[in-house]
Amino acid sequence: MSQITNEVKNQIKKRRTFAIISHPDAGKTTLTEKFLLYGGAINQAGSVKGKATAKHAVSDWMEIEKERGISVTSSVLQFNYDGYCINILDTPGHQDFSEDTYRTLMAADSAVMVIDASKGVEAQTRKLFKVCTMRHIPIFTFINKMDREAMDTFELLDDIENELGIATCPINWPIGSGKEFRGVYDRASKKVEIFSDTKKGTTQGEVKKVDINDPEISWLITDDQRVQLEEEIELQDGAGAEFDQELVSKGELSPVFFGSALTNFGVETFLQHFLQMTTSPLPRTSDRGPIDPMEEGDFSAFVFKIQANMNKAHRDRIAFMRICSGEFEAGMDVYHMQGGKKVRLSQPQQMMASERKMISKAYGGDIIGVFDPGIFSIGDTLTTAQDKFTYEGIPTFAPEHFARVRQVDTMKRKQFIKGINQIAQEGAIQIFQEYNTGMEEIIVGVVGVLQFDVLKYRLENEYNVEIRLENLPYEYIRWIENEEIDLDKLTGTSDMKKVKDLKGRPLLLFVNEWSIRMTVDRNEGLKLTEFGRS
């Protein structure tokens, strides 16, 4: 292990890398854009929906995303603010893309959960939250859209605690909502931040802070609101959880903030508190033990996402890497553990969604994209360390929907195979072959049915291949842990199908859940698992 220099250590200390998760339409993209405005990364906020001429959100770049107004791939955005270098991983909001979100969370050190104040915890938030708790990462809650009618504040907090099983600690407290929204009360400073509707798209509105005991407060909030605020704060102080940084860091207590991303109210306060409550990049688990970025001088990173055709003109593939330790320099040679050889990391870039800028240096905690000639897979480790190691793999989610896929024009077989393989390597779909046959029969498995639409769209638009999908009745898939089992002698059930994945590993598909237990009972020593490894 080579020694880390003070310069590299200081650079890593400045890094904050977090993911933003939410149910669709909770305001995640708007919040992301306001962060970028504060960092000076963009001058004007885009609009996810609206007129055809309106700008699309900076973080939504894929054509299908612009057409539907939803995020289907994770974007990586970097900006500087108040001496920090911040990497935001924006995740798809739709539950059909939760696998992409999970991989993205593997690259984040904390998560920001955006909740719509009028709706509380929604189905997708629940699913994504479970993914966060699997990683035990700190979760910060931003309750958005306070400028519209909202649920009762205690109800919102109870909802988070009951639905997600995490304690909450409000850092500030809202005064009214909708037309009666007056601002938030900061519990630590005992000051009221007054809400004024700002011009949309501007960086900053007027933020007026007034002490709760200042006589001027009576001009700014009504007597009824003041009485209600004092009663609610007294209740919260008596019954609510106290702020505890250790519990926040363990992912057991979520600090809660209130505001309105659209009007820019409460966003900067949230960002400032967030930066104080989060840490610089943390150690990562490897087969050599934890790799601590504050001690390990050698460069190391893992691939958590691959995206083909981000630039139609170049038909290229970008491998997104989370740097875990050391300093990255453009054109450096690193050892690719899974490939078993040295590779040069060329054309390194940092992202602003589909906009790219070439970089010469990056540090532990940063997310970079490098050109992928087709050699990288999700979960791969790259390092310059002499004492080599591999980071723990990223689990593969079990698909829940399956379809047989065929190209309409048999003359386009080559493009079809290339396209479907590239999209599978990105992790957007999983492809399987019939056991004991070639690539003639291809079965596609997805976590959510919307991924079938994306597959169809992308094959047509990026590879000029039209396909037909024939839905299959299978709902359950199991990887075979002990691969020495002879698949030819395996005794299954009538609704079972034997397949293999891209790496030739054997898998079993089932229509009914009870068939899984029956198959295990009939084959002594057979071990099945729901998760594959990348």
Cα 176 to chain centroid distance, Å, stands at 32
Helix (H, G, I), strand (E, B) or coil at 161: helix
Bridge partners of 357?
Answer: 350
**Residue closest to 503 by CA, chosen among 388, 409, 379:** 379
Give me the count of residues in the chain. 534
Strand stretches in 279-326, DSSP E: 284-286, 289-291, 300-308, 317-325
Burial readout 214-243 (b: 16 or more C-beta within 10 A, e: otherwise): eeebeebbeeebbeebeebbeebeeebbee
State whether residue 415 is helix, strand or coil.
helix
Residue type, 512: N
The Cα 406–Cα 413 span in angstroms is 9
List, in sequence order, the alpha helices (H) in 56-206: 63-68, 98-106, 123-135, 153-164
Maximum CA extent, the chain: 84
Name the binding residues for GTP.
22-29, 90-94, 144-147
Residue 466 is which amino acid? E
| Cα–Cα dist 68/322, whole Å | 29
For residue 399, which of 431, 368, 373 has the smallest C-alpha distance? 431
Annotated binding site, which residues? 22-29, 90-94, 144-147
Phi and psi, residue 259, nearest 5°: 175, -165
Alpha carbon distance 84, 80 (integer Å): 6
For the chain, give percent helix, strand, coil, nearest 5.
25, 30, 45
Q: Which two tokens stand for residue 370?
A: 């490098």
Q: What are the tokens at 492?
A: 């299954």
Where are any strands of DSSP class E within 226-299?
A: 253-258, 284-286, 289-291
CA angle 183, 176, 124 (to 5 degrees): 90
Q: How many whole angstroms separate alpha carbon 21 and alpha carbon 114?
A: 6
